[in-house]
């Protein structure tokens, strides 16, 4: 509902219109319960992600759009927003896998392959760096063969924990559940969960390693490695997607 200057004043939903007292004017009905007809609005300069968040937060079917003076310039319906939400969610999932949305939809196989190759190349470099670090302890690994047996278990658990945090955070970002002001809360939650799981599995794996190879100190080393690995996985798995989205990637 707008005034004579086209400035938006109230929002009247169908459910409100059905229970109006038809012996009174619209204005009289509204004045009986003004707060009930205060409407949620979007502005023509708002970021589309803020609009999506309003739809999710207030469960809207449509949202009026006003300019800086409050003049009604149009509306956005839920159908439009759901399309944007699906596109945003798809984009986030592609980023999680390191592929490009536009390249994947293109018929050019070379373009899609190039986009994937860049991500695989980055992963190759990180794998080489990890191997170089392991190579620094070559003599230790030769002396304690048990470390070579147990190391893949610790690495695998860290990878799985990181994937869990990454998937949860990417999904929340896609749905607009994480705002800029509560990014710290999200990272803190994932770190606490990873620390709790790390402590739990560190105890289990520590006992297994100590009994398996009959070395108590080895069990302590593996337990500490497991806990630190899962803690780092939770931290980076939650921080990386938040940082990349903040920087527009």
pTM of the model: 0.60
Burial of 94 (0-12, 13-18, 19+ CB in 10 A): middle
Query: CA-CA distance, 152 to 143, in Å (whole number)?
Result: 17
| Residue pair 225/146 in contact by the 8 Å Cβ criterion | no
Q: Supply the mean pLDDT for the chain.
A: 79
Which sign does the torsion angle of CA 137, 139, 143, 148 carry? Answer: positive
How would DSSP label each residue in 149-215? HHHHHHHHHHHHHHHHHHHHHHHHHHHT---GGGHHHHHHHHHHHHHHHHHHHHHHHHHHHHHHHT-
CA-closest candidate to residue 17, choices 8, 29, 9, 6: 29
Give me the helix-helix angle, 216-246 and 183-213, nearest 10°: 160
Q: Is residue 13 helix, strand or coil?
A: coil
Question: pLDDT-derived band of residue 108, with 50, 70 and 90 as boundaries?
Answer: low
Q: Which has more pLDDT, 241 or 222?
A: 222
Q: Which has more pLDDT, 102 or 219?
A: 219
Reported as a single tens digit per residue, the pLDDT across 136-155 is: 877 777 767 888 888 889 88
Q: Which has more pLDDT, 7 or 83?
A: 7
Judge whether residue 102 has pLDDT over 60: no
> Among all chains, which residue has been given the structure tokens 């990878």?
159
Average pLDDT over residues 176-185: 73
Reported as a single tens digit per residue, the pLDDT across 61-80 is: 888 888 888 888 888 888 87
Average pLDDT over residues 233-242: 86
Average pLDDT over residues 166-171: 80
Average pLDDT over residues 244-249: 65
> Among all chains, which residue has been given the structure tokens 């709790």?
196
Question: pLDDT-derived band of residue 180, with 50, 70 and 90 as boundaries?
Answer: low
| Residue pair 50/42 in contact by the 8 Å Cβ criterion | yes
What is the predicted pLDDT for the residue at 202?
93
- How many C-beta atoms surround the C-beta of residue 161 within 10 A? 24
Average pLDDT over residues 221-229: 91
Structural domains of the chain sorted by starting position, each given as residue range(s) with its CATH number in brackets: 14-82 (3.10.580.10), 139-249 (1.10.357.20)
Rg of the chain over CA atoms, in angstroms?
27
Judge whether residue 224 has pLDDT over 90: yes
Average pLDDT over residues 223-230: 92
Could you tell me how far CA 157 lies from the centroid of its own chain?
21
What is the predicted pLDDT for the residue at 115?
64
Question: pLDDT-derived band of residue 52, with 50, 70 and 90 as boundaries?
Answer: confident
Q: Which has more pLDDT, 31 or 180?
A: 31
């Amino acid at each position: 509902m707008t005034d004579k200057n086209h400035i938006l004043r109230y929002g009247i939903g169908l459910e409100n219109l059905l229970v109006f007292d038809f012996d009174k004017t619209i204005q009289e009905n509204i004045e009986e319960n003004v707060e009930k007809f205060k409407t949620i609005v979007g502005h023509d300069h708002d970021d589309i992600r803020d609009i999506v968040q309003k739809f999710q937060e207030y469960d809207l079917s449509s949202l009026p759009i006003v300019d800086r003076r409050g003049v009604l310039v149009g509306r956005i319906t839920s159908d439009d927003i759901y399309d944007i939400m699906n596109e945003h969610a798809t984009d986030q999932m592609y980023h999680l896998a390191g592929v490009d949305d536009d390249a994947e939809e293109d018929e050019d196989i070379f373009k899609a392959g190039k986009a994937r190759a860049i991500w695989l190349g980055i992963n190759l470099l990180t794998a080489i760096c990890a191997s170089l670090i392991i190579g620094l302890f070559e003599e230790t690994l030769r002396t304690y063969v048990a470390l070579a047996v147990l190391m893949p278990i610790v690495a695998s658990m860290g990878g799985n924990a990181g994937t869990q945090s990454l998937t949860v955070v990417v999904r929340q970002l896609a749905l607009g559940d994480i705002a800029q002001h509560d990014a710290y809360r999200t990272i803190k939650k994932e770190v606490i969960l990873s620390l709790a799981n790390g402590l739990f599995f560190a105890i289990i794996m520590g006992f297994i390693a100590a009994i398996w190879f009959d070395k108590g100190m080895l069990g302590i080393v593996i337990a500490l490695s497991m806990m630190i690995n899962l803690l780092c996985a939770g931290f980076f798995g939650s921080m990386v997607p938040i940082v990349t989205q903040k920087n527009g990637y």
